[in-house]
Amino acid sequence: MADKPEGRGPAEIEAARKLFAGPCEFVAGAASIASLPAAGLPEIAFAGRSNVGKSSLVNALTGRNSLARVSSKPGHTRQVNFFDLGNRLFLVDLPGYGFAQVSKSMKETWQDLASAYLRGRPTLKRVCLLIDSRHGVKEADRETMKNLDAAAVSYQLVLTKTDQLKEAEIACAVAAAETVARKHGAAHPQALPTSSLTGAGIPELRAEIIGTAGLQARS
Ligand code: GDP
């Protein structure tokens, strides 16, 4: 019983806060399929178009400024990065996609690596698919959603940069994302609005992550 579409309660939010406030270490950066670390702990992966705010979100979740590298150059992260959260969970930062200025061969290498990871990971509990709340679901995101559906990998849309929108616009962005999600078999029906800048939605996303990973509060 890991899944609750209606969101997470105060107990899970507090348990998640504690877990994410604890140790978090970079454990591996895999640039090839052969160098992916052996599966062990439950994993939650983060995917999205380059520049969507993925590194910033991983940093906001873990309360660190520089765990994941925030880049001014889109398309910078070229490997699958694994972070060990309290020896209970791996956070997995996948390479950004949809950046037009990389060569075709490089694009293919990234896609092959991300696909191999996504298809062959029994411990992967969910992919957080990041969507820029200002732009909504783009063609490259739809492609990724189709691939995740085909691979039967559970995923959830997470809206980023909501500090750039007004309250009513955020509600519209969430509703639009949820409309798209409902058309995809492997997508969670709820979209989560977040801002790494203000911290809005971060406690709720942490709670969603530990709930999805099947982690209980430790007293
Ligand atoms: P990545 O390529 O997906 O890892 O994206 P980054 O985390 O490197 O962020 C890309 C750009 O978006 C940077 O200029 C960040 O400062 C900016 N950014 C990331 N998150 C937020 C956010 O929550 N709000 C705002 N306003 N900007 C953000």
Ligand 1 centroid to Cα of residue 53, in Å, is 4
- By most ligand atoms within 8 Å of CB, the mutation choice from 59, 67, 70 for ligand 1 is 70
pLDDT band at 54 (very low <50, low <70, confident <90, very high): very high
- Residue 41 Cβ < 6 Å to ligand 1: no
What stretch of H or E contains 28? strand 24-30
- Residue 163 Cβ < 6 Å to ligand 1: yes
- Residue 204 Cβ < 6 Å to ligand 1: no
Segments making up each domain of the chain, as ranges:
10-212
- Residue 70 Cβ < 6 Å to ligand 1: yes
Q: Which fold does the domain 10-212 belong to in CATH? A: Rossmann fold (3.40.50)
| Number of other residues whose CB lies within 10 A of the CB of residue 110 | 21
% of the chain beyond a pLDDT of 90: 64
CA distances from 94 to 8, 45, 127, 190, 207 (A): 25, 7, 10, 22, 21
Whether 158 shows a pLDDT value over 50: the answer reads yes
Helices 10-21 and 202-212 cross at an angle (nearest 10°) of 90
Vertex 157 angle, CA 153 and 162, to 5°: 160
Radius of gyration of the chain (CA): 16
Whether 165 shows a pLDDT value over 80: the answer reads yes
| Overall average pLDDT of the 159-183 stretch | 98
| Overall average pLDDT of the 116-140 stretch | 94
What stretch of H or E contains 192? strand 192-193
pLDDT digits (tens, 9 = 90+) for 58-99: 999 999 877 776 544 444 457 888 999 999 999 999 988 876
pLDDT digits (tens, 9 = 90+) for 89-125: 999 999 888 765 556 665 566 677 888 898 889 999 9
- Residue 162 Cβ < 6 Å to ligand 1: no
DSSP 110-150: HHHHHHHHHHT-TTEEEEEEEEETTT-S-HHHHHHHHHHHH
